[in-house]
Amino acid sequence: MSIPVPTNGTLRLGSKAPDFTAETSNGPISFHEYLGDSWAVLFSHPDDFTPVCTTELGAFAKLEPEFSKRGVKLIGLSANDTTSHKAWIKDIDEITGSKLTFPIIADQNREIALKFDMIDFQDATNLDDKGVQLTIRSVFIIDPKKTIRLILSYPASTGRNTAEVLRVVDSLQTGDKYRITTPINWVPGDDVIVHPTVSNELAKEIFPKFRIIKPYLRLTPLDLSDK
Ligand code: BEZ
C-alpha cells in the first residue's frame, strides 16, 4: 500500500531543493551552482540586528571549520538587504568573537523564504516594521544531489543548537556510507544500529562485533579503520 502524497509544492524530506539566484553578503549567487558537489546547511533568520539571531550566526561561524571538514557549506538567510547584512556581520563578529565568512542571503522580499516555506502562521509578533511576516528559524540539510535530507522549523523565540545540526550531518553521512542507522542522542563513536534490511548473516560479515539485543535491534561499534 502506498499513501498518496499531495504534490502541492510543499517541500518534504526527499524533495529537490529549489534553485534560485540571490544577492548575499558575499555577492550574487546561483544556489545550485554555489553548492557544487558539497553538502549544505541552509538556515533562515527572522531579522538582522536581533539578539537570538546574532548568537546563532556567531555560533554557526565558529563551528564552520567542522562543517567544512565534512564537505558542508553553510549559507544563512535573513529578511534584510546586503547593506544591512554586512553591517550586522561586523556586530556579530564583535559580540561573539566569530569571523563569519559564509554568505547570508538578502531576502527582504521573502522570495526565497516562500520557496522554502520559511514563513509561519503562529507568531503574530514576528513581523517587520511594515507588518510583513518575517522568516522563522528553518534549517535544511541538503546533500550533494540537492536532495533535502532534514527540515527543522524553530519559532523566532528559540535559538537553535549548532551541535545538533552537525550531529545530523554526521548521522546522514555515516548512514549513506554504511548500512546503519543511528539511535537516540547518537554522536560519532557511539554504537550504531545495523540497518533492518541487513540479514544477520550479512551483518556478521560486515560488522563482526554486532550484537542482537532483540531481533529488531542489533547494535554494532563502527570501527571506521576496517571499513
Ligand atoms: C531574535 O533574534 O532575538 C528575534 C528575532 C525576531 C523575533 C524575535 C526574536
**Number of folded domains in the chain?**
2
- Return the residue whose CA atom lies nearest to atom 8 of ligand 1: 156
187 and 138 together in one domain: no
Helices (H), the chain: 31-35, 51-69, 82-96, 111-115, 162-177, 200-206
pLDDT digits (tens, 9 = 90+) for 28-45: 999 999 999 999 999 999
pLDDT digits (tens, 9 = 90+) for 71-126: 999 999 999 999 999 999 999 999 999 999 999 999 999 999 999 999 887 778 88
110 and 217 together in one domain: no
Nearest one of 184, 126, 137, 181 to 41, comparing CA atoms: 137
55 and 26 together in one domain: yes
CA of 155 from ligand 1 middle (Å) equals 9
Distance CA 219, CA 9 (A): 38
Ligand 1 contacts CB of residue 76 (under 6 A): no
Ligand 1 contacts CB of residue 51 (under 6 A): yes
- State the cell numbers at 10: 510543499
Distance CA 37, CA 54 (A): 29
- At 153, which CATH number? 3.40.30.10
Which atom of ligand 1 lies closest to the CA of 53? 2
